[in-house]
Each structure stands twice: as structure tokens, then as C-alpha cells.
Amino acid sequence: MTDPHTPDMADDEASLQAFRAEVRAFVAHALPHAVREKVRLGLEVSKQELVDWQQRLARRGWLVPHWPAAWQGCDWSAERRAVFQEELVLAHAPESGGISLEMIGPILIRYGTPAQQQHFLPRILNQEHWWCQGYSEPNAGSDLASLKTRAVRRTRPDGSEVYVVSGSKIWTSYAQYADWIFCLVRTDTEARAQQGITFLLIDMRSPGVSVRPLVGIHGWHLFNQVFFDEVEVPVENRVGDENAGWSIAKSLLEHERLNLARVAENRRRLAKVRAIGAELEEGGQPLLQRPWFARRLRALEVRLEALAATVLRFRRQARAGQALGPETGMLKLLGSRLIQDIENLAVDALGPDTLAYDRAAHFEPAAPEPGRSAYAAAASARRFVTRGYTIAGGSSEIQHELLAKQVLGL
Ligand SMILES: Cc1cc2nc3c(=O)[nH]c(=O)nc-3n(C[C@H](O)[C@H](O)[C@H](O)COP(=O)(O)OP(=O)(O)OC[C@H]3O[C@@H](n4cnc5c(N)ncnc54)[C@H](O)[C@@H]3O)c2cc1C
């Protein structure tokens, strides 16, 4: 089914409301109850469940609304996209494959050769290829440009040109599921750090690639370390020019600036805390009425509404054709911190029930226990997962530094 909307059509309130109802009805019908429950309770969705959900979105024409129409995109306005994302998040739909669909897909659309686009984009869309991101290294995180994974160009006996890659990447999310990895590698050791970096696409099945799992404090196998031991990568798998990978890497950060506030996700998590507050009792009263809980809940609600209003202000600015400045950096800072505080309140409310560690409970709802909230099993793990939100994609300290320099001129 195609969407009749085009960017030229104004999205007035009525059409946005109608669209919201359409998305809500679709999700109510298409999202399996078991998956919805897992997301609601903070459990891990399996790769297969995610593939199934994304296939349903693809059949509806809504898998990659942010891509250009030529690649199954929808050409929606920013408001329409925001409504779509909000409805998905509020209905407890799993987050769609961020690394493939939000990162490498848009990069290939913008910088890939026609041959790379023709080969990779259809395989991303039909989910034959899952991707992971190989930027960070054991000694290169915030200071990413100091990365050392080396790529040396060599001609093979048959005359073909390859890069021989050696080194390692760390904190590589979901590398255990990935078929391909996009990497920043050093191709020039003499040039200024940023100028000697190249962007390569590497098949995870290449000889010399190995993956070591890193299980986090939350018990989740999210991270990995990926090792490259003299891995041969065809020169055709380079995106952009040799030594021009830094500007491509940076352009990723421009995507989805306004979504970094995670307003809808914050709303969903706050609704969870409210549900916990209504379910539990303390001193014969619902937790919602206990002053310590009510006070913290209200403070979080106020912060969320202030954040939502700020995002709306930026959206209006973008809609009026005004450029968004570096002050949008505050959105990630505020949104990620808010999520952590919400999850902290959930753990404080659920108390000692969150302490028992049950790995199986990451994947399937725990059997009901009298007097124990269904939210308890994953609450602690979820709190630790959100700890990473103020680190990934630029830590809070780095964000503060950027705001201080670029916005406040300090
Ligand atoms: C959930 C999650 C998922 C991730 N997924 C991926 C992935 O898929 N692929 C990938 O490549 N990477 C991934 N990362 C890694 C992430 O990009 C890095 O953790 C991040 O860039 C920080 O680097 P670091 O861990 O080396 O910390 P460091 O850079 O060593 O920082 C350590 C501490 O020092 C502070 N600090 C550093 N420099 C400064 C400074 N100049 N001024 C003030 N304070 C400073 C930091 O804020 C931090 O508190 C992920 C991280 C997380 C948490």
C-alpha cells in the first residue's frame, strides 16, 4: 500500500490526527501480544521476533519512512514521522534495527557507489544483512580520531586490490547477529588523525574476523569485541575516498538529532513507573499517594513536559526552514538523563524484589509470584542498560563540553 502523503501537502492537525489513528490501528493489529508484553516489561526481543515485526512494517510500506521514496521511503514531514514513532513506542513496539536502517542505510544512500547501493540496500531492506558499527576501539572512544585499526592496501597475485585490516573494535553492539560491519580504519599514519581514516564495509564471515562476547553488568549480551587479523577487504568495499572516512562518520551524527531526546520512550517508561505506583502499596496506601514517590514522579513529569516543549520548539523552527544550531545537543543530554532517573525510580519503588538475578527473565516474562510485580524481574537490568545512554553516541561530559564551546562560547 502506498501512502498518498507528499512533502508538499501541509500536515494540519486533522490530517495528523487521522494518521495517528491509522498507525494506532495498524500496530494494534500487527504487533504480536507476546512481543508487546516483552517490550512493556523491559525484556529482550529475539532477533527472529524483530525480523518478523520489521517484515510486517515493510509490507505496510513503513519500515524506512525516513529513506528516500526511491528506496521505499515515505517522504513524510517531520511531524508525521514524529507521530509515527510516538505511536510505535507508546504501543510497546520493539525498536527497529537501528544500525542497519538508521545508520549504514542512510550512509550508503548518501555516499555509496551505485554498485554498493544496488548490492547492499535491498539486502538491508529484506533483512538478509544485519549490520553492526565498528567505530570504538579499546583506546579510542570519545577521542575517536585516535583509532588504530590499520588497513594497508595491497595487490593480490590475481591483480585485484584489497585492504588488509588488522586491529580490534570494542563495544560493538549486536556483532553476534551481524553479517556485515562498517568500520573506521587507519589508512594513513602520517597525516593529521582525522585525515588518515577510511570507511570500510567488511563481511563478518571473512577469514581473520572473530567476535568475543562481552556480557554487561546488566547480564545482557549486547556488546562484543571484534578482532581483525589480516582480513582482506576488496577495495570496492570502501565508502567514499581513501582517507575521507571521518566526514562520513560525522555525518551519521546529523541524523535524527531531534529524536535523540527520546520523548516518546520517556513517556512510555514514565507510564510504566505510574503503573508500578498504582500496583504497589506502602503503609496501606498506593505508592502513588506516598509523598516520596509522588514528589519524584511529578518532578520527572515536569522535566518530560519541558523536554517535549523544547523538541516542539525545534521542530517548528525546522519546519519554518530555519537551521538548527548546536543547541540541539541539549536534547540528548536531557533525554538520556531523564530515562535514567525514571528507571532509578522504578527500581527504588520495586525495592528488594529487583535484586534476584534471573537470566531467563531477560527473555521471557517470569512466572507470576504472589506479591511480586511483573516489572521486578527486568527492572534492575533495565536500569543498568539505560546507564549506557549517557555514554553511547557521545558521553554527557563531551556534550557539555560542546554546548559550552559552541553555544555559550566559553
Ligand atoms: C550502550 C552502548 C552501545 C555502544 N555501541 C557501540 C557500537 O555499536 N559501536 C561502537 O563503535 N561503539 C559503541 N559504543 C561505544 C561508545 O561509542 C563509547 O563508549 C563512547 O564513545 C565513549 O568512549 P569510551 O567508552 O572509550 O570512554 P572514554 O572516551 O574513555 O571516556 C571515559 C570517561 O571520560 C570522559 N571523557 C572523555 N574525554 C573527555 C573530555 N575530553 N572531557 C571531559 N570528559 C571526558 C567520558 O565522558 C567518560 O565519562 C557503545 C557504548 C554504549 C554505552
End-to-end Cα spacing for the chain: 52
Ligand 1 close to Cβ of residue 401 (< 6 A): yes
Torsion of CA 226, 230, 231, 232, to 10 degrees: 160
Ligand 1: centre distance to CA 388 (Å): 9
What is the CA(139)–ligand 1 centre distance, in A? 10
Residue 4 pLDDT more than 70?
Answer: no
Q: What pLDDT does 400 receive?
A: 95
C-beta 172 within 6 A of ligand 1: yes
Taking domain 131-245, whether its CATH number is 3.40.50.410 is answered by no
168 Cβ inside 6 Å of ligand 1: no
Residue 397 near ligand 1, beta carbon < 6 Å: yes
Torsion of CA 74, 77, 79, 83, to 10 degrees: -10
Helices 291-319 & 263-279 angle (0-180, nearest 10): 160
Q: How far, in Å, is the centroid of ligand 1 from the Cα of 37?
A: 31
- Asked if residue 182 has its Cβ within 6 Å of ligand 1, the reply is no
Cell numbers found for residue 157? 597475485
Average of per-residue pLDDT across 201-226: 95
Residue 266 CA to residue 47 CA, distance in Å, equals 24
Distance CA 24, CA 31 (A): 10
Q: What residue owns the CA closest to ligand 1's atom 41?
A: 398
C-alpha cell at 9: 501537502
Predicted confidence at residue 64, as pLDDT, reads 94
Residue 46 gets which letter from DSSP? P
Highest mean pLDDT among 2-16, 221-235, 312-326, 391-405: 221-235
With residue 184 as reference, give the H or E element that holds it. Answer: strand 180-186
Residue 292 has pLDDT above 60, yes or no: yes
Domain spanning 257-407, CATH class = mainly alpha
Statement: residue 358 has pLDDT above 80: no
Alpha carbons 335 and 263: distance in angstroms, whole number = 7
10 pLDDT band (50/70/90 cuts)? low
Write out the residue limits of the CATH 2.40.110.10 domain(s) in the chain.
131-245
Residues of the chain within CATH 1.20.140.10 domain(s) are 257-407
d(CA 19, CA 88): 13
Rounded to the nearest whole angstrom, what is the distance from the C-alpha of residue 292 to the centroid of ligand 1?
34
Q: Answer whether 142 contacts ligand 1 (Cβ < 6 A).
A: yes
> Has residue 139 got a pLDDT over 80?
yes
How far apart, in whole angstroms, are the C-alpha atoms of residue 309 and residue 325? 17
Q: What percent of the chain has pLDDT over 70?
A: 96
pLDDT for 391: 93
CB 19 less than 6 A from any atom of ligand 1: no
The DSSP element (H or E) to which 271 belongs, if any, is: helix 263-279
